[in-house]
Amino acid sequence: MRLTNDLPNIVPDIDSLPRFRCLMLAAVLLKQLHASRSDSFLIALAFLGFVSLGLPDAVIGVAWPSIRDTFQLRQGAVGLVFVVSGLGYLLSSSFFGWLTRTLGIGLVLAVSTGLVATAMFGFGFSTIWVVFICFALIHGLGSGAIDAGLNGYAAHHMSAKHLIWLHACYCVGASIGPLLMASVLANGRHYRIGYSIVGETMLAMSVLFLITHRRWGTASATPHSAGLPTSARGALRSWAVWCQMAIFFLYTGIEVTFSQWTFTVLTESRHVGPGPAGIAVGVFWGSLGAGRIVFGLVADRVGIDRIVRCCLLITCGGAILFAVPLPIEATWLALATAGFGLAPVFPCLISRTPRRLGTALSTHAIGFQVGAAMIGAAAVPGGLGVLAGVAGLKMVPLGLVVLAGLLWLLHEGLTRRPDFDSGPE
């Protein structure tokens, strides 16, 4: 897609509204900041931060055809963007504990959100493919630290209910971003307009994090537990840290596999039409978001461990039902079941990390868990794709059954070991 000749004339009209809204949002939040002495403002800002975290993540899926044509690339070149961004994400999330101790959560969030804003503007205005890829690295570095930072704060300062709803906010942002870019492109505008709007939003969030950075403190308000290692290397000596990393690896891999492979499996293996197959993907994401809202209402009463155990069994049931070539209506039910079962698992496990591992370990562990989740999001669907290329697409749903069962077994092993004190729920 080429930039039209009248773009300089339309940019002010398109950009003025987002800028105005961002400034008004900042003004309202700053007024609340000065008026409030409680942590409610920071909690609200964390919710808003998770919406903004979701905004850029799915935008490239809509913008990619235009980006591909601009740089005259092959379809598969988008994989390089994901790989480079994933490396940056893994790097920053893995060093989150050190960054927090050095700068504090507030500054980490401010700088990281600023990096994402820079990457969004860079994506929009890059004229060389290599430069575009460099901004993908910057995007990953910022996103990894934001994800670990907000999860770390929430794990130590929020209830399980609020943490689950926090992740529901990510689904909101991840839904708004593609719709925004699609609207920009549908109106004949260049994709840089959409990236600029997202960049302005992230820049406004960066300013808010910077102004409030002293109020965020560290990852935990409690002293380090005696006798436990506080360095990243020391945290990696704990078997429980590695077990939780494996759980996050599998969980995210399963979630992304459902979202990425469902359409292909249904259309190319089971000969389902594009319309019903697209609905199936929407059903999965809809049940995932709805499940987080529902479980947020009952998490504090039912108990986190009990919810995770039940939901992992529900996920296994959904995976088994999806593996059977049934009519499309039954497949919709399978995907709704799997999405509902997966919904609270990630936030619940994050919420339990400080209690399970102790304060001294949890700051590093949350960063490692988020990094392991990022690796799983790439490795599991990629590995099942390789397997499908050898033995057919039927191996993808069968692989999901095996992985869902393994995830349940790992979590049971983590909670039932006699030398592992999971603490009260």
pLDDT surpasses 80 at 308: yes
Gyration radius of the chain's alpha carbons: 21
- Measured CA to CA, the distance from residue 366 to residue 375 in angstroms comes to 14
Question: What is the DSSP-derived secondary structure letter of residue 219?
Answer: S
Res 13: pLDDT: 43
Identical fold between 7-216 and 232-416: yes
Residue 237 phi, psi (nearest 5): -85, -10
For residues 173-190, average pLDDT: 81
Per-residue confidence band for 217, with pLDDT thresholds at 50, 70 and 90: low
- Measured CA to CA, the distance from residue 405 to residue 398 in angstroms comes to 11
Res 54: pLDDT: 79
Residue 205 phi, psi (nearest 5): -65, -40
What is the torsion angle, in degrees rounded to the nearest 10, for the CA atoms of residue 96, residue 98, residue 102 and residue 108?
-10
Out of 175-189, 262-276, 287-301, 398-412, the most confident range is 398-412
For residues 252-260, average pLDDT: 86
Res 28: pLDDT: 53
Q: What percent of the chain has pLDDT over 90?
A: 25
Res 340: pLDDT: 94
Give the residue with greater pLDDT, 298 vs 40: 298
pLDDT surpasses 90 at 336: yes
Res 361: pLDDT: 67
- Measured CA to CA, the distance from residue 205 to residue 44 in angstroms comes to 12
Side-chain-facing half-sphere of 197: CA atoms under 13 Å: 26
Helices (H), 212-238: 213-216, 232-235
Per-residue confidence band for 20, with pLDDT thresholds at 50, 70 and 90: very low
Q: Which of 148, 228, 164 is nearest to 421 (CA)?
A: 228
- Measured CA to CA, the distance from residue 262 to residue 333 in angstroms comes to 13
Distance between alpha carbon 154 and the CA centroid of its chain, in Å?
Answer: 15
- Measured CA to CA, the distance from residue 278 to residue 219 in angstroms comes to 40
Cα separations in angstroms, 359 against 83, 152, 202, 299, 366: 32, 11, 30, 22, 11
Out of 79-93, 123-137, 146-160, 239-253, the most confident range is 123-137
Looking at domain 7-216, its CATH architecture is Up-down Bundle (1.20)
Looking at domain 232-416, its CATH architecture is Up-down Bundle (1.20)
Per-residue confidence band for 180, with pLDDT thresholds at 50, 70 and 90: confident
Give domain limits for the chain.
7-216, 232-416
Res 254: pLDDT: 94
Which residues in 310-382 belong to E strands, given as ranges?
A: none
Q: What percent of the chain has pLDDT over 70?
A: 80
pLDDT surpasses 70 at 106: yes
How crowded is residue 303: how many other Cβ atoms within 10 Å of its Cβ?
A: 15
For 162, the enclosing helix (H) or strand (E) is: helix 160-186
Res 229: pLDDT: 43
Give the residue with greater pLDDT, 116 vs 148: 116
Res 219: pLDDT: 44
- Measured CA to CA, the distance from residue 310 to residue 75 in angstroms comes to 40
Cβ-proximal residues to 302 (8 Å cutoff; 6+ apart), any chain: none
For residues 77-86, average pLDDT: 79
User: How much is the mean pLDDT over the chain?
Assistant: 79
Question: What is the DSSP-derived secondary structure letter of residue 331?
Answer: H
Write down the residue that tokens 């939040």 correspond to: 29
pLDDT surpasses 80 at 356: no
pLDDT surpasses 50 at 228: no
- Measured CA to CA, the distance from residue 2 to residue 9 in angstroms comes to 16
pTM beyond cutoff 0.75: no
